[in-house]
Amino acid sequence: MPDSIRVKICGLATQEGVQAVADAGAAYVGFVFFPKSPRNVSIEQARELALSAPVGLAKVALVVDADNALLDAITNAVPLDMLQLHGHESPERVLEIRARYGLPVMKAVGIADASDVPDIDVYNAVADQILIDAKPPKNADLPGGNGLSFDWTLIAKRRWPKPWMLAGGLTPENVSEAIALTGATQVDVSSGVEMSVGIKDSAKISAFVAAALAD
């Protein structure tokens, strides 16, 4: 059913962008706290964006190997619904963060080939949700948002006990195919709805959500 697909738009930095995400019918909006990313926002920016978000839009903080000091600062200032761990956090660290902050935790798992797929099960046991993404190239500055996809047949029609989300190289043009092949009920996009690096395009956001919900 179309309404079973939930869409996350990640890397928002403006109130106009957050409103566009809500207007398009997405379920989640993501804020990036990673200085190397062109989509990085300050805690103050994220607070304003989160406070401006329409009721019902889930607000997600993306962090990369963040220490407790940074997580304390973010969670104390920004009204959030979920933490997204996009670094090399261990299963033990995932459990620690869940316990410390009392927020649902989504752990990103990078996939390059079949040898990476078992990691999904490892993190499924400790996280609330899994984000299945393309593994970044070696020596890449960014752990995600690189516009890369992976071989979707590696997870085609697989099921896990916890909710999971498909990411990596998704665009308005290919998201329908990705959903059909993998059976994903949640999809995440960042670079695929941008007019230039870090700058979201409202029309692409709308087209992406429409294509995802058409399945």
* CA distance linking residue 155 with residue 183, whole number of Å: 9
CB neighbour class for 18 (10 Å; exposed up to 12, middle 13-18, buried from 19): buried
- Other residues' Cβ atoms within 10 Å of the Cβ of residue 14: 15
Residue identified by tokens 């690189």 is 146
* CA distance linking residue 28 with residue 104, whole number of Å: 13
- On the CB side of 30, CA atoms within 13 Å amount to 28
* CA distance linking residue 86 with residue 200, whole number of Å: 21
- Token readout for 143 is 């752990």
Catalytic amino acids? 10, 133
Query: What residues form DSSP beta bridges with 83?
Result: 61, 105
In degrees, rounded to 5, the angle at the alpha carbon of residue 112 between the alpha carbons of residues 84 and 62 is: 15
- Other residues' Cβ atoms within 10 Å of the Cβ of residue 202: 16
